Amino acid sequence: MWRSLSPSGRVWGGAGPEREAHLSLAGAPGGEQEVWCLESGHGPLPPPGSQQLEGELPRRARRRTELQQYESRYPSPQPLDPGRTTAAAAPSRPSPPMYASWSGRQRGRRGGLGLPGRAWLLITTWLLVLFSALAFYFSLGQLPQLPWTYLRPSAPPRPVTVLMWWEPFGGQGKSSPAPDCQRLFNLNGCLLLTDRSAYWEAHAVLFHHRDLVRTLDWPPPQSELGDGLDPDTATVGAASSGRPDRPPGQRWIWMNFESPTNSPRLESLDGSLFNWTLSYRADSDIFVPYGYLYPRSNPEEQPSGLIPSLARKHRLVAWVVSHWNEDQARVKYYRELSQHVEVDVFGQGGPGQPVPELGLLHTVARYKFYLSFENSQHLDYITEKLWRNAFLAGTVPVVLGPSRANYERFVPRNSFIHVDDFPHAAALATYLRFLDRNPNEYKRYFDWRRRYAVHTLSFWDEPWCRTCQALQSAGDQQKKINNLAAWFQR
C-alpha cells in the first residue's frame, strides 16, 4: 500500500511492519511535500477464526482505501509514445531487491578496474593537476635553442679576420673601437677590422644593408682594396660582373636588422652577390635576434626583485613610439584601443610626451602593460620593443607583430598578450581591466621569470663577434644567395 509521511511528521495513512518497496515525492494538502511509501504485498491470511484474522481484514481494507485515495489524487501520466503502452502491458522482469547487501552496493559504486568511485575522483583530480603542471612546464620549456649553440668551432678555434665595410649608420658620426669578443662572449681568435686595406686578408666582409643602398661607394672602388688587387683582374671582374674579384674562400655577408617594409632596394642586390645572411630571421646563416631567453643557472634560487612588485605600478598602459605614421597598423590599433582604456604615449610625434628624466625603463616599470607594437608585421620581426622595453622593464607586453605562433617560437606563451587573441580592441581593453582588478591572474604573466633570464642584443658588438664564431665553425663549402629579395620578403 501507499503510506504518506509529511515532513512535519503527520501520517496520512496507516502504519505497518511491512518492508518499503518504493519512494515517491508528492505534494500534501496545502502545498506541503509528502513522501509516499508503497508497502509490499499482502502475504497469506491468518487461519480462520484466529484473533490475527480479525485484525488483518480491517487493516487490509484500510490499505485498499489508502491506495485508491493515492491513485485518485496522483493518477499515472499517459505515455506520449503509444509503443510504451504496449510495452507496459507486457510481462515485466522482476525488479531487483530494494535493499542490496553492503558488498553489492560497493560494487555498484566502483568504477573501472574495480576501484571505488571516490578513488576514481581522486585519481582524476590528480591527473588533471599533473597534466596542468606538465602543460605549464612545456609552455616554458619549448623554446628554440640559443642562437649560437649550432655554432661549434674547432678546438682550438682557428684565427679569423672579419672586415666591417661600413660602420652601421655611418658610425653615427664617430668611429667605434672593435669589440673584444673574448671578454664579451668568450670567443677567441677573432680579429675585427674596419680598415679596408685589410680586404685581401679578411675571411669575411660584413655589409650593412642600410648603408649599402644609401651610399655612392658601391661597388667598392679599386683604390679601397689595397695594392694586392691586380688592376687587370679588377678591371675585367668589374666589367663582367659589376663587382671586383674577391680572395678565394672570402665570404660576403649581408647584414640587416630592419623589416622588409623598411629595407629598400632589395631587388638591386640579387644575383649571387652574397654568400651568407645575418639578421634577426631564424633561418639566416647567422641568426642574431634582438633578444632571447636563456635558462637561469639556479632556478631554485629566486633573487629579490625577480618578480616585479605591483606596489610600484600605479598606471595601466604605456607606449613609447619614435616614428609616428598614421598609416601604420600599430597607430590605427592604438586609436581604437585608446577609446576604451587610457594609454600614456611617450616619444616623438602624435600624442606623445617626452620620456621623463628617470629614463625609459624606469618609466615603463610603473605600468602594468606595455604596447610592444612593431612598425610592420613580418616573420620573426620581434624587436627591442618586446625584449628591452617590456621584459627588462618588468611589465607585461601587449604585442602587435607577427602571429602568436611566431612569438611562441621564442618566448613562453604565457609571457605576453597578443592583440590577435581578441576580436577587437574593446575586448582587449576589457581583459586588461580584468587583470588590473585580479592581481593573482596578472602575476601569472611573470611565472616564466623563475626559469629564464633576458638577453638583449648589443649593437654592433654581437653581430661582429657572431660572424667570427660562424666562420670558425664553417667548413670550406661555398654558398651563394641567388635571390635575396625573394628569401627576405616572404
The full DSSP string for 293-313 is EEE-S-TT---TTSSPPGGG-
CA-based nearest residue to 252, from 268, 275, 230: 275
Query: For residue 430, what is the DSSP state?
Result: H
Distances 56 to 13, 51, 62, 184, 471 between C-alpha atoms, Å: 16, 9, 10, 106, 109
Task: Decide if 39 contacts 3 (C-beta within 8 A).
Answer: yes
Using CA atoms, how far apart are residues 121 and 113, in angstroms rounded to an integer? 13
3-state secondary structure of 370: strand
Using CA atoms, how far apart are residues 233 and 451, in angstroms rounded to an integer? 57
Strands 2-5 and 20-27: unpaired
Using CA atoms, how far apart are residues 337 and 351, in angstroms rounded to an integer? 14
Query: For residue 260, what is the DSSP state?
Result: G
**Which H or E run contains 23?**
strand 20-27
Task: Decide if 315 contacts 344 (C-beta within 8 A).
Answer: yes
Residue 451 backbone phi and psi in degrees, to 5: -115, -25
Query: For residue 401, what is the DSSP state?
Result: S
E-strand stretches of 374-490: 396-400, 417-418, 452-456
Query: For residue 91, what is the DSSP state?
Result: P
E-strand stretches of 176-289: 190-193, 204-208, 251-256, 276-279, 286-287
User: Given 56, 224, 258, 408, which residue is catalytic?
Assistant: 258
Residue 200 backbone phi and psi in degrees, to 5: -75, -20
Using CA atoms, how far apart are residues 388 and 372, in angstroms rounded to an integer? 10
Active site residue 258: yes
Residues facing 254 on adjacent strands: 207, 277
Backbone φ/ψ region at 461: left (φ over 0), alpha (ψ -120 to 50), beta? alpha
E-strand stretches of 315-375: 315-321, 343-347, 367-373
Task: Decide if 262 contacts 255 (C-beta within 8 A).
Answer: no
Task: Decide if 122 contacts 128 (C-beta within 8 A).
Answer: no
Task: List active site positions.
Answer: 258
